[in-house]
Amino acid sequence: MYISPHIRRLIDLALDEDDIGFDVTSVAFFSEVDKTAQLLAKEDLVVCGVDLVQAVFDRVDPKIRWQFDVSDGAKVKSGTVFGRATGPALSLLRGERVALNFMQRMTGVSTQTNRFAVLLQGSKTKIVDTRKTLPGWRELDKYAVRTGGGGNHRFSLSGGVMVKDNHIFAAGSVKKAVEKARNSAPHTLKIEVEVDRWSQLDPALEAGADIIMLDNMTTAEMKKAIEHIRDFSDRIIIEASGNITIERLPELKNIGLDIISSGALTHSVRACDISMKLDLS
């Protein structure tokens, strides 16, 4: 994993927030003597954030070195020790919470994404994220989605043209909205149109949309729309979004969708249970 300047700023912000230079509890019990720490998975998970853990401790104390038995993307069973560190005990404890906060959140996203991806195996349909990410954490959230076997939708507003209901309302029609977007956007960007009713489908097709997003439709409505789109053109990418739960994936995986996008991969994910223990023997 590339630790970008933005991620380094996040790390520094988190360490400053935790006031790590004033661990009034640990200084009463530990000195700078070297100790060993272990990372323990307390549930089945898909590991994510190995390089970030080391990056956190590099900022706390460069003398701390981590060794991991696995890489990002590895599936680990509950009860498995998958990482070990050596270094000054006080420094290990100073960085513990921040490192775990990063890894637990990222591993939660990768583990959740993997659950979705596994259910789509055997089909051409790919699960991707949305922009419903933790503010400031988009780079990490989207990396974790890829680690779990998913893909990324546009990274930011500049990553693609997505014509939605507000744009259509402002333009007066789907056709006019697509024309306005095409006239102002770089030629390198694809144009996606969000369709939430049948009456919008033909205008989006005729306007030359590159991607059609079927938004908040029932499975029966999607099947009908997909057949109609494929009769029009086989080059158009078809995406489903809105009210996409993990329970719906089995009925959606083989109906002809190219992409399923789900905010559930990131917006309300539960952090995985991982702990760090010092070896005090």
CA proximity to 36, closest of 87, 1, 78, 72: 87
Q: Whole-angstrom Cα distance, residue 44 to residue 154?
A: 30
What count of Cα atoms within 13 Å lies in the side-chain half-sphere of residue 50? 16
Structure tokens at 84: 């070990």
End-to-end CA distance of the chain: 34
Q: Whole-angstrom Cα distance, residue 26 to residue 30?
A: 6
Q: Whole-angstrom Cα distance, residue 50 to residue 260?
A: 28
* Cβ–Cβ under 8 Å, residues 83 and 40: no
The catalytic residues are: 97, 132, 164, 194, 215
Q: Whole-angstrom Cα distance, residue 89 to residue 78?
A: 26
**244 backbone dihedrals φ, ψ, rounded to 5°:** -95, 105
Residue with tokens 């083989």: 254
User: How far out from the chain centre does Cα 101 lie?
Assistant: 16
Q: Whole-angstrom Cα distance, residue 242 to residue 237?
A: 17
Residues pairing with 212 in the sheet: 193, 238
* Cβ–Cβ under 8 Å, residues 72 and 50: yes
Q: Which helix (H) or strand (E) holds 40?
A: strand 34-41
